[in-house]
Amino acid sequence: MDFELTEEQKMFQAMLRDFVDREIAPHAAEWDESNEFPTEALAKMTELGLFGLHLPEAYGGSGDDITFMLACEELARGSGGLSSIYITTISLAIGPIVMFGNEEQKRKYIPRVTTEGATVAFALTEAMAGSDVAALEMKYTREGDYYILNGTKIFITNGAEADFLVTFATKDKALGYKGISAFIIDKGTPGFSVGKLEKKMGLHPASAAELVFDNCKVPAKNLLGEEGQGFKIALRAIDSCRVTIAAQCVGLAQAAYDAAVAYAKERKQFGVEIARHQGIQFMIADMAVDLDAARLLTYRAAWQQQTTGNVNAKEPAMAKLFASEAAHRIAHRAIQIHGGYGYTKEFVVERIYRDQRIMELFEGTSEMQRWTIARQITGLK
């Protein structure tokens, strides 16, 4: 098996690595401290064509899943928060429109991302509906040429800044997953507003917003897919996003690993660099193994997804599960190697530790990934 990148992909990776080192990483701590939405950096990323990666060429994209995975990894190496804004927009949030939108919807919304760098949100989670998607309580009714939405979403990444979003509501909760439909909501739609912004442990540049739909009047043409298809659309979007989250984890882990190795070679205790102490060497070795294994699982899943188009296989779930937990272990050891300094905001590992923790929770918890993997292996539903 050959996982060697093409020359074009290697050139892209080198270009983006340089861009991240110049334009992203130097500002990451500032964005984290101020909760600032990195508007200027996102505009530069749009100019580089990063918002077209893996999206259809017919609408201004480049159509390359593996290059997109490399972008997710490199951007996360520079800033976990910025990478979440990016990944949510061009994977999880625009994905439903790419996969299920009609031609009019695709031509209206996809180019806004690929050429304008529009920010997009995916509004699914509710107070009583997290992993249990079928438990949605936000309701919709049909009134002539409009749908009327009522309810509240929580923890929505990009919710405060989104130019448009995809959300989900049920016609009748008694219908379970069969009653759920998906809708495209434009910023400024009557009855739609942004509520509370969560104060999070990490990923500070990316908002996590409460979204309120109070008799929100949505044109019927903004129904995504068909009525009753929302559950399928939501799960398909989440499935397709797993590899990008795994790549994000690899990027965060790489940043923590690099910082730990550099510090261990500089810091002296008992008259020598701490990298010479066996205890530190063992930690670095374990970090290197975790990082390599996470990257290989992620690259395999991305290659499989691009060549087969199957986003519901066990391999993406395995990559997301292992990479997120490996990032946790690597960030933990990075702080351990830094000692007390690692617990301060002066060193990057403190921020990485906070940013990586959510990776084991969003887009499917580690427990949900294990459930998905086991179902694929046993064939039991």
- Specify whether the CB–CB gap between 236 and 99 falls below 8 A: yes
State the Cα–Cα distance between residues 75 and 93, nearest whole angstrom. 18
User: Going residue by residue through the chain (381 aa), what tens digit of pLDDT does each one get?
Assistant: 677 899 999 999 999 999 999 999 999 999 999 999 999 999 999 999 999 998 999 999 987 889 999 999 999 999 999 999 999 999 999 999 999 999 999 999 999 999 999 999 999 999 988 888 888 999 999 999 999 999 999 999 999 999 999 999 999 999 999 999 999 999 999 999 999 999 999 999 999 999 999 999 999 999 999 999 999 999 999 999 999 999 999 999 999 999 999 999 999 999 999 999 999 999 999 999 999 999 999 999 999 888 888 877 799 999 999 999 999 999 999 999 999 999 999 999 999 999 999 999 998 899 999 999 999 999 887
Instruction: State the pLDDT at residue 379.
Output: 87
Positions of CATH 1.10.540.10 in the chain: 7-114
pTM to 2 decimal places? 0.95
Q: Are 182 and 229 in contact (CB under 8 A)?
A: yes
- Residue 307, pLDDT score: 87
The pLDDT score that the predictor gives to residue 1 is: 63
Distance CA 86, CA 180 (A): 27
The CATH code belonging to domain 7-114 is 1.10.540.10
Joined tokens for residue 306: 């691009």
Q: What is the pLDDT of residue 102?
A: 98
Closest CA to 223 of 89, 105, 134: 105
Place domain 120-230 in its CATH homologous superfamily.
Butyryl-CoA Dehydrogenase, subunit A, domain 2 (2.40.110.10)
Cα distances from 206 to residues 38, 126, 162, 167, in angstroms, run 9, 18, 11, 18
Q: Where in the chain is the domain with CATH 2.40.110.10?
A: 120-230
CATH 1.20.140.10 range(s) for the chain read 232-378
Q: What is the 3-state secondary structure (H, E, C) of the chain?
A: CCCCCCHHHHHHHHHHHHHHHHHHHHHHHHHHHHCCCCHHHHHHHHHCCHHHCCCCHHHCCCCCHHHHHHHHHHHHHHCHHHHHHHHHHHHHHCHHHHHHCCHHHHHHHHHHHHCCCCCEEEECCECCECCCHHHCCCEEEEECCEEEEEEEEEEEECCCCCCEEEEEEECCHHHHHHHEEEEEEECCCCCEEEEEECCCCCCCCCCEEEEEEEEEEEEHHHEECCCCCHHHHHHHHHHHHHHHHHHHHHHHHHHHHHHHHHHHHHCEECCEEHHHCHHHHHHHHHHHHHHHHHHHHHHHHHHHHHHHCCCCCHHHHHHHHHHHHHHHHHHHHHHHHHHHHHHCCCCHHHHHHHHHHHHHCCCCCHHHHHHHHHHHHHCCC
Q: Alpha-carbon distance 132 to 231, whole Å?
A: 11
Q: How far apart (Å, rounded) are the C-alpha atoms in residues 361 and 131?
A: 10
From the list 23, 346, 363, 367, the catalytic residue is 363
Which fold, 232-378?
Answer: Butyryl-CoA Dehydrogenase, subunit A; domain 3 (1.20.140)
Phi and psi based region of residue 205 (left: phi greater than 0; alpha: psi -120 to 50; beta: remaining):
alpha
363 annotated active-site? yes
Helices 25-34 and 80-87 pack at an angle, to 10 degrees, of 90
